[in-house]
Structure 1
Amino acid sequence: MASKSIAEVPLSSLTAPLLYPSPSEAALKLQYVGKKLQDVQAPAVVLDAAVVRRNCRLMLDTVQKLGVGFRAHVKTHKTTALTKLQVGEESQSVKLVASTVSEIENLLPWLLEYKTQGRDVNILYGLPVSPSSISRLAAVARALGEGSVGLFIDHPSHVKILEQVDPSAWPGQIPVWVNIDVGYHREGVSAHSKQLADIAYSLSSSKRTHLAGLYTHMGHSYSVSSPEEALKYMAAELEGLEEGAIEFLKITGAHETKSASATKVTLSLGATPTATSVQNLLEDSEGAKEYRAMIDKINRSFAVELHAGVYPVMDMQQLATRARPAQSPSNPTKSLLSFSDLGMRNLVEVASLYPDRGDKPEALIAAGSIVLGRDPCKSYPGWGVVSPWPLQDGPHYDPEGSRTGWIVGRVAQEHGVLTWEGPTGQMRQLEIGEKLLVWPNHACIAGVNFGWYLVVDSEKPDPERVRDVWVRWRGW
């Protein structure tokens, strides 16, 4: 089925752009571009384009060298501009995963543009498919062409639901991805479960669907604390996914296909800690060689694919995993995972000061849980770390270092309380009305209540000046 232009898609089918209109990008640029961060009203969320570009390039370079596929998750940032950086300009394959139908609908104009350039486009709706979402996803599938939109399933009822989809609404077979649970216990089924067998039997007789791949998310990999531990999780994730695939294909009989032209089933694994841990495999060590050999072996029978979402911006949670070392063993000047690789910061303003409160000085910022979220970080007892900004570098709280500096020690809804950690004789003096930049614990949450990002670029002159505005998508 040929893809359509955006003009051929009924507007009523694209719910998000109609019900959740975005602010005017042109008006936002008039308002912000050229301003210094010091002159912007807080709270705001700031992205450093230089850091984002570097993180995206590192991921794309790594998967290319390892000979595996990559699927970028767009849920962290929800912008077209950053999605383009995740995909890169050279790849002929655009593979994405989204957590909301809104994200997919908002990407549609750009995806259609890429289709006209001859690029292969494939996007997955990242939750087990719900009946109420099918009509909207079908509209996107009609626009992009057969095989471009994939759906997740982890119950035989999902197959029955898709069997009833009108072929005129969703022409051709619907690509489905089976969620395998490798221990996180969010979505998915285990490799040896009766439920996986029931899914396999349902798919083997399905006329409306076909198996495109198996997918897993190892969210509990956020508990790791070293590259070695992250790689062990990655290996367990890949082996568990392979085990599920073999069991699944045995039931369907698909493993007996010997045709050289047969399409390999894709095994898609990742959470940012395990996905970024493979960047350690570019080092020439015995451990790296063993993991590469394991990936190569599985890649001969299946198409191994990594997926990740928060890696372009990183955050305090990712820093705490230490899934990559701070510097490359073979190139000590190359930063791999340090504060310099955190590309998102929240701009906040000091609202009041309490130097004599309790056993440590405190200050108030007009930014609480609706700005920073309530997700904790295992490496320190706070909700964000105050950076040395406006200095480019300088003393700040480091969970693995001095543990001296301002952190967001408590949060209410609109209120955040900064607490000074460490000797008071070293305290950075604050003033009411002073602007600060805070590294958040969880970037996916720290941007969610903002309609746009203010974009700076630390590789260009005047890194404190806003150079662009990236609009976030809204809706579900």
Structure 2
Amino acid sequence: MAELTLPSAPHLYPAPSQATLASHFVGKRIKDVQAPAAIIDAAVVRRNCNALSNAINRLGVGFRAHVKTHKTLEMTKLQVGDSDAKTIKLVCSTVSEIEHLLPWLVECKAQGKDVDVLYGLPVAPSQVARLGKVASALGEGTLGVFVDHTAQIKALENVKGDVWPGHIPIWVAIDVGYHREGVTANSSQLAEIARVLETTKRVKLAGLYSHLGSSYGSASAEDALKYMAEELRGLKAGAEAFLRAGNNSLTGNGKITLSLGASPTATATQNLFGGVSAVHEYRSLIDEVKQNFELEFHAGVYCVNDLQQLAAHATHDRTYDDIGFRILAEVASVYADRADTPEILVAAGSIVLGREPCKSYPGWAVVAPWPDKTTSYFRPGGSSPGWIVGRISQEHGILTWEGRAEQMQPLEVGEKVLLWPNHACIAGVNFGWYLVVDSDEADPEMIQDVWLRWRGW
């Protein structure tokens, strides 16, 4: 097994003992653990991963799993299909994620699997040495990086062979309208990148990549497919402009790979097998692009889902039951005379839930029906009353009642609640591990495992 020397995240951010955590938590029930706690339902995660995997396979395109949401080995394996997968395609947002995955990736390589990992930000000079060590351990051509400026390419071209051996695969980031990373199809910057790549020796083109974060504005499955088509057309236009600028000399002996997605546009592919008008139009677009390019989708938060994903309505049948991540919180105080209905203080504020809003309601989390699943809970856009986290500060969350006062369900000091967060990627940040239950088991409340969550950069 490959060993990384310092600095690497496993050394800089040591994890607690998984065995010790398991001995403390496994066998307990959710209600018996200290809050706040991060709870994963493995059955829901499996179901979400399988649903997207089945759609991608039916379309005959590739898939690259983004691991930034959960930052765990266990969920990464579920995303790629674990032992059944012959190809391991991943995108990571931190070097830490890649370094923590390294031992498993080395095992995958030893088993003859094709490993293809992408560092998902335009590469900064300070990251190159650590990335090069991973590339050395995995072998040439296995680890790729983003570029969207010629300065990045020139810096990579000059990296010494003892820092990063062999050729360095790069992915050109295309801006399809979200204006995060990337360059637009009609920009002089994209054309200059293509011209510089014509003369590079060590830096080799692996593909073009886009992320349409504005797809979270979707309000229906049809909307999500329109965003998907918009992104695909934009990425295709960027690829065609890029190849023209490089005099079509950058394709090598095969097709260039186009990688597109955010969870709404990637999961929208599940609608392409019935239930949505104009399915043929979207399928035809995908088939058209596949004639000249290799095509893959990428996504991350889909495996656990959250309130933002539900608000996007990217698939027809997604419900609260498809959220695999909940946060256990505890009632710290009750304020009976603040408003028409009491307000409740829970010890879970922005450092637990984050501060990212959800377009479908004015809150930061929704209290789930638990432990009594028949309890009323708030549903954005509907008439169902329930508690939400209506205000937050750093450690404090204020539950407010959404509904008529006479419908209010009282909560008491010391009572525990489960919260559905707005954005799972952010809500998990301050937790060192997930407590794992499995609703397919006889006791869905019993903790079955503990999954360590990677820290660091």
TM-score norm. by structure 1 comes to 0.94
Structure 2 residue aligned with 1:79, among 59, 72, 81? Answer: 72
What are the superposed Cα offsets for residues 303-325 of structure 1, whole Å, 9 maximum, x if unpaired? 11100010000000000000111
Q: How many Å apart are 1:42 and its aligned residue?
A: 0.2
Give 2:452's aligned residue: 471
Superposition map of 1:424-435 within 5 A: 424-435=405-416
Question: Conserved in 1, the CA contact under 8 Å of 2:257 and 2:294?
Answer: yes
Superposition map of 1:122-161 within 5 A: 122-161=116-155
The amino acid across from 2:30 in the alignment is L
Superposition map of 1:3-14 within 5 A: 5-6=1-2, 9-12=3-6
Superposition map of 1:187-206 within 5 A: 187-206=181-200
User: Structure 1: how far apart are the matches of 2:4 and 2:443?
Assistant: 45
> Given the alignment of the two structures, is residue 221 of structure 1 paired with residue 215 of structure 2, yes or no?
yes
> Given the alignment of the two structures, is residue 273 of structure 1 paired with residue 254 of structure 2, yes or no?
no
User: Structure 2: how far apart are the matches of 1:221 and 1:284?
Assistant: 20
Structure 2 residue aligned with 1:376, among 357, 382, 394? Answer: 357
> Given the alignment of the two structures, is residue 346 of structure 1 paired with residue 327 of structure 2, yes or no?
yes
The amino acid across from 2:79 in the alignment is Q
The change in CA–CA distance for 1:166 and 1:35 in structure 2 (over 3 A counts) is same
Question: Conserved in 2, the CA contact under 8 Å of 1:265 and 1:303?
Answer: yes
Give 1:363's aligned residue: 344
Structure 2 residue aligned with 1:66, among 59, 67, 74? Answer: 59
User: Structure 1: how far apart are the matches of 2:448 and 2:215?
Assistant: 35
2:272 match: secondary structure: helix
Give 1:329's aligned residue: none
Structure 2 residue aligned with 1:239, among 233, 244, 251? Answer: 233
2:301 match: secondary structure: coil
What are the superposed Cα offsets for residues 355-401 of structure 1, whole Å, 9 maximum, x if unpaired? 22123321000000000000000000100000011023442000032
Q: How many Å apart are 1:15 and its aligned residue?
A: 1.1
The amino acid across from 1:353 in the alignment is V
Q: How many Å apart are 1:52 and its aligned residue?
A: 0.2
Instruction: Report the number of matched residues.
Output: 456
User: Structure 2: how far apart are the matches of 1:427 and 1:404?
Assistant: 8
> Given the alignment of the two structures, is residue 183 of structure 1 paired with residue 164 of structure 2, yes or no?
no
Q: How many Å apart are 1:290 and its aligned residue?
A: 1.4
User: Structure 1: how far apart are the matches of 2:353 and 2:152?
Assistant: 36
Give 1:331's aligned residue: none
User: Structure 2: how far apart are the matches of 1:403 and 1:360?
Assistant: 16
1:264 match: secondary structure: coil
The amino acid across from 1:20 in the alignment is Y
The change in CA–CA distance for 1:393 and 1:105 in structure 2 (over 3 A counts) is farther
Question: Conserved in 2, the CA contact under 8 Å of 1:383 and 1:409?
Answer: yes
Q: How many Å apart are 1:428 and its aligned residue?
A: 1.2
Q: How many Å apart are 1:116 and its aligned residue?
A: 1.1
1:35 match: secondary structure: coil
What are the superposed Cα offsets for residues 298-349 of structure 1, whole Å, 9 maximum, x if unpaired? 01110111000100000000000001112xxxxxxxxxx1000000000000
> Given the alignment of the two structures, is residue 387 of structure 1 paired with residue 368 of structure 2, yes or no?
yes
Question: Conserved in 1, the CA contact under 8 Å of 2:184 and 2:238?
Answer: yes
Question: Conserved in 2, the CA contact under 8 Å of 1:72 and 1:86?
Answer: yes
Give 1:249's aligned residue: 243
Q: How many Å apart are 1:168 and its aligned residue?
A: 2.7
1:228 match: secondary structure: helix
What are the superposed Cα offsets for residues 206-251 of structure 1, whole Å, 9 maximum, x if unpaired? 1111111000110111111111111111001001000000111112
Give 1:121's aligned residue: 115
Question: Conserved in 2, the CA contact under 8 Å of 1:360 and 1:421?
Answer: no
Q: How many Å apart are 1:289 and its aligned residue?
A: 1.7
Give 2:205's aligned residue: 211
1:169 match: secondary structure: coil
Greater alpha carbon shift after TM alignment, 454-463 vs 385-394: 385-394
> Given the alignment of the two structures, is residue 15 of structure 1 paired with residue 5 of structure 2, yes or no?
no
User: Structure 2: how far apart are the matches of 1:461 and 1:178?
Assistant: 48
Question: Conserved in 1, the CA contact under 8 Å of 2:401 and 2:408?
Answer: yes
The change in CA–CA distance for 1:424 and 1:216 in structure 2 (over 3 A counts) is same
Q: How many Å apart are 1:284 and its aligned residue?
A: 6.5
Superposition map of 1:309-320 within 5 A: 309-320=300-311
Q: How many Å apart are 1:273 and its aligned residue?
A: 0.7
The amino acid across from 2:167 in the alignment is Q
User: Structure 2: how far apart are the matches of 1:284 and 1:350?
Assistant: 43
Give 2:164's aligned residue: 170
Q: How many Å apart are 1:256 and its aligned residue?
A: 8.8
User: Structure 2: how far apart are the matches of 1:285 and 1:370?
Assistant: 39
> Given the alignment of the two structures, is residue 404 of structure 1 paired with residue 385 of structure 2, yes or no?
yes
- RMSD of aligned Cα (Å): 1.3
The change in CA–CA distance for 1:395 and 1:198 in structure 2 (over 3 A counts) is same
What are the superposed Cα offsets for residues 394-446 of structure 1, whole Å, 9 maximum, x if unpaired? 42000032241000000010000000110121111211100100000000011
1:470 match: secondary structure: strand
Give 1:97's aligned residue: 91
User: Structure 2: how far apart are the matches of 1:246 and 1:33?
Assistant: 53
User: Structure 1: how far apart are the matches of 2:440 and 2:70?
Assistant: 21
Greater alpha carbon shift after TM alignment, 74-83 vs 162-171: 162-171
The change in CA–CA distance for 1:409 and 1:211 in structure 2 (over 3 A counts) is same
The change in CA–CA distance for 1:230 and 1:284 in structure 2 (over 3 A counts) is closer
The amino acid across from 1:385 in the alignment is V
The amino acid across from 2:17 in the alignment is S
User: Structure 1: how far apart are the matches of 2:297 and 2:204?
Assistant: 21
- Give aligned-pair identity as a percent: 60
> Given the alignment of the two structures, is residue 264 of structure 1 paired with residue 251 of structure 2, yes or no?
no
TM-score norm. by structure 2 comes to 0.98
Give 1:307's aligned residue: 298
